Amino acid sequence: MNFYVMTLFPEMIMEGMKTSITGRALQSGVISVETFNIRDYTNEKHGHVDDYPYGGGAGMVMQAQPICDCYEAVMKKIGETEKKPRVIYLTPQGKVFNQKLASEYAKDENIIFLCGHYEGVDERALELLETENVSIGDYVLTGGELPAMIMMDCISRLVPGVLGKEESADIESFHDNLLEYPQYTRPVEYRGLSVPSILLSGHHANIEKWRRERSIERTLKVRPDLLPEADLSDKERAFLRELESDRKDN
């Protein structure tokens, strides 16, 4: 998996991605991250990449020319490919990023991110690059670098070879559209709170059943909107109906 980031702050991207799991993946070559400074491609003699918006209004808008020229440099670096790399523009106006999208993006070989700033990007750049507009939530940040790093981190975890043997993306929150079950480690008792006895039993089938039920229970409590699409067995759906019935009675 190769990530290409068009940004005004390349050092921010690289410093964030060189740590923890993504850092190990970069060192091993399972993923790669390359930044392109949009400012390097401006034709403006003072290095400006923004200007006042037509029609008036507050703030400045990133110009199309440096973005498009930067994109052409990225495509030249990528070279010929069977599939045109998707270009993701990070914006609050885009579709909301989630685990399902991450799984889809993890199948790509190359992904290009466009990190905007100021009041946004000249619409013509977005049209020419045929961007896919994506948001990480209903709030506004100062730029697209943090959302890009969040997406790259999430997508990378789904790329084969990124997670180690003791780590798995198959048992984390949002797998099967459920939140993850509660986790415990030593000691068995801490400040009057004990690890559930079933986790100490060594009975793997019962432990798995307990974990699935706790995942269903937690999802119903915190994110019930996920449950209609959850991958549940008939017995698990019966368990969910019991939980829902108990909630109504209480």
pTM: 0.89
pLDDT band at residue 176, thresholds of 50, 70 and 90? confident
CATH number for the 173-249 domain, one of 3.30.70.20, 1.10.1270.20, 3.40.50.12780, 1.20.1250.20?
1.10.1270.20
* pLDDT of 169 strictly over 90: no
- In CATH terms, the superfamily for domain 2-156 is SPOUT methyltransferase, trefoil knot domain (3.40.1280.10)
At 238 the three-state DSSP class reads: helix
> What is the rounded CA–CA span in Å between residue 223 and residue 240?
13
Mean pLDDT, the chain, integer: 95
**What is residue 128's predicted lDDT score, i.e. its pLDDT?**
98
Average pLDDT over residues 159-169: 77
Q: Give percent above pLDDT 90 in the chain.
A: 92
| 103-135 confidence digits (pLDDT tens) | 999 999 999 999 999 889 999 999 999 999 999
**What is residue 179's predicted lDDT score, i.e. its pLDDT?**
94
* pLDDT of 65 strictly over 60: yes
Tokens for 162? Answer: 């990124």
pLDDT band at residue 6, thresholds of 50, 70 and 90? very high
Q: What share of the chain is helix, strand, coil (3-state, %, to 5)?
A: 45, 15, 40
Bridge partners of 111?
A: 3, 86
* pLDDT of 170 strictly over 80: no
The residue extents of the domains of the chain are: 2-156, 173-249
* pLDDT of 167 strictly over 60: no
| 210-242 confidence digits (pLDDT tens) | 999 999 999 999 999 999 999 999 999 999 999
> What is the rounded CA–CA span in Å between residue 98 and residue 46?
39
| 30-47 confidence digits (pLDDT tens) | 999 999 999 999 999 999
* pLDDT of 174 strictly over 90: no
* pLDDT of 23 strictly over 80: yes
Tokens for 117? Answer: 């700033």
